[in-house]
Amino acid sequence: MAVTNLALHGGPKAVTAEDPEGWQVFGTEEAERVEGLAEAEELSATGAGITREFEEGFAGYMGRPYVLSQMNGTSTFWGAYFAVGVGPGDEVIHPTYASIGSIAPAVFLGARPVFCEVDPRTLTADPADIERRITVRTRAICVVHLFGNPADMGAVMDISRRYGIPVIEDGSHAHGAEWDGRKVGAVGNIGCFSLQGEGRGAMSVGEGGVGVTDNREYYERMLICGHLNRVGVVQELTRPEYRQLGSTCLGVKFRAHALGLGLGREQLRKLDSVNEKRRAVHQQWNRMAEEIPGLEPVKILEKARPGGYYGYRLLYRPEELGGLPVETYLKAIQAEGAQVTACDFPLLHRLPLFAEGFDIYGGNRGPLTGDYPGYREGDLPVSEAVHRRVLALPAFTDPRPGVLEQYREAFRKVTANAGALR
């Protein structure tokens, strides 16, 4: 093997910054808010106090009248699928490149997931493939604004209107992102957001979720699905059959934690500025990807304004580096000290649960058993091919001076020496 200045071959590392990020997730505002709630012993999100304050704040930000805080993103999807009437025998169309949390609740409600391809340029659901997969059993379409990049909501909502199928948006990576001037999550029929994010999300409260809609009926169904004993819940329900359930509703509690909502209320005030800072870093990564052979930025559609997802994704182009395998490329980049990995989100149709199926209820009765066909490798070839090329980078919010340049140098060095790695 030729001798190079690559760290892999004993050369100096390009990335030497030990503490690359200057941004702190929680500031004094969050600390004071949590302390205040604890001192007032407001620890349960009853539906009054901090619950209302958070929900009203989020409703104002989103421009949607109905907002419900939830215990996590998964329970928010549970409420949303229940709201649109997903049940046994139904199908839900969902991109294969996503989190399991936005489809698992539909399966528990008895529906079969129908995975669609992602557009390999944007990594979000391919509208043409969604349309191809519609059947008489399709009850809902879920789109995911993966890694903060808004999906093609114009095309998706056109399909929704033509077929009369509701759209649930997953904005868990995209708080504050926009499609055509509107916040994502407020374009489809229901928007669902996780507020988790490993402490570095644009809105990150530990565990939490929030659902938004402009449809009163959906809102009331989300209420009865998971908000038993919420303050004023019976008065909020307008349908007699929902009201007669009383405050115990359907007996399930998906309520958020009050301290999390306190954190969330403060983080909402900072959301736009955090997104702005991260977008600036993303733009620098993208410029780098355009200039350095072997890299390709993820495409942002014309009407899309991405959010500040805490990671960033680039696409690897082996054909520009003489076919250098992505694994070898990554090894060399990592040796340079850069935190760049293969993508950490698996394709859903390749997970054992969905590939092989599972007898969820026992007795061969659930949506993933019986005549469930399962999925094999090759069933979604476009997504499978692009998934192998996705590189995960840290996003950075306030990178220390010189950090981005060091990363850039790591990529440049590996590209320049690709011939010696093959």
Cα separation, 241 vs 232, whole angstroms: 17
Q: Which of 69, 72, 96, 267 binds ligand PLP (CB under 6 A)?
A: 72
Looking at beta carbons only, is 123 or 333 nearer to ligand PLP?
123
Task: Find out whether 96 and 116 touch, Cβ atoms under 8 Å.
Answer: yes
* Under rule CB under 6 A, residue 212 binds ligand PLP: no
Looking at beta carbons only, is 173 or 408 nearer to ligand PLP?
173
Cα separation, 96 vs 103, whole angstroms: 10
Q: Please give the C-alpha separations between residue 360 and each of 41, 88, 228, 364, in angstroms, as whole numbers.
A: 40, 12, 26, 8
Cα separation, 14 vs 7, whole angstroms: 8
* Smallest separation, CB 213 to ligand PLP (Å): 17
* Smallest separation, CB 295 to ligand PLP (Å): 24
Residue number, nearest CB to ligand PLP: 73
* Smallest separation, CB 4 to ligand PLP (Å): 38
Q: Which of 64, 139, 173, 255 binds ligand PLP (CB under 6 A)?
A: 173
* Smallest separation, CB 68 to ligand PLP (Å): 14
* Smallest separation, CB 157 to ligand PLP (Å): 20
Q: Which of 198, 233, 203 is nearest to 68 (CA)?
A: 233
Binding mask 152-171 for ligand PLP (x = CB under 6 A): ------------------x-
* Smallest separation, CB 173 to ligand PLP (Å): 5
* Under rule CB under 6 A, residue 194 binds ligand PLP: yes
Looking at beta carbons only, is 97 or 242 nearer to ligand PLP?
97
* Under rule CB under 6 A, residue 209 binds ligand PLP: yes
* Under rule CB under 6 A, residue 102 binds ligand PLP: yes
Looking at beta carbons only, is 203 or 414 nearer to ligand PLP?
203
Task: Find out whether 175 and 271 touch, Cβ atoms under 8 Å.
Answer: yes
Contacts of 65 (CB under 8 A, 6+ apart): 59, 214
CA dihedral 225, 254, 203, 295 (to 10 degrees): -70
Q: Which of 20, 47, 101, 148 binds ligand PLP (CB under 6 A)?
A: 101
* Under rule CB under 6 A, residue 172 binds ligand PLP: yes
Query: What contacts 24+ positions apart, CB below 8 Å, involve 127-131?
Result: 127/152, 127/155, 127/156, 127/158, 127/159, 128/155, 130/93, 130/156, 130/159, 131/159
Site residues, ligand PLP (CB under 6 A): 72-74, 98-99, 101-102, 144, 170, 172-173, 194, 196, 209
